[in-house]
A = this chain, B = another copy of it.
């Protein structure tokens, strides 16, 4: 049953985390999903120290906020050092990857529109 349109007040940590298959040491929870809200979804990603995601594209944009730790994030042909309190926008279709810090790991919010998303791993030729 859809909860769309219902008030929600809940701790982020109370949402169950699920392993992200394409990632390494990476888990995700959907906190506000397409069944809960009409326009966009709020997810939380947790990466263990040294974990991450390989270079990939999505058919939807990402709006992100770093809530814990730090990471190297590759977006297009640039590499950024991001940390708690940083805001990141990744337009649809732009290749990107994550490598969490070896000591403290990395945790971020990732918001996407309620639209079909197709994830494709980018072949790096390695």
Asked if B113 contacts A13 (CB within 8 A), the reply is no
Closest residue on chain B to residue A89 by CB atoms: B8
State which of B12, B42, B75, B111 has its C-beta within 8 Å of the C-beta of A7. B75
- The count of identical subunits is 2
Q: Which of A20-28, A49-57, A77-85, A97-105 makes up part of the contact surface?
A: A77-85
Contact present for A91 and B39 (CB under 8 Å): no
Q: Can you list 5 A-B contacts (CB < 8 A)?
A: A7-B91, A10-B86, A37-B63, A39-B40, A40-B111
Which residue in B11, B42, B88, B90 is a CB contact (below 8 Å) of A63? Answer: B42
Size bracket, chain A contacts: 35 or more
Say yes or no for A32: interface residue by CB 8 A criterion. yes
Q: How far is the CA of A61 from the CA of B80 in the complex (A)?
A: 32
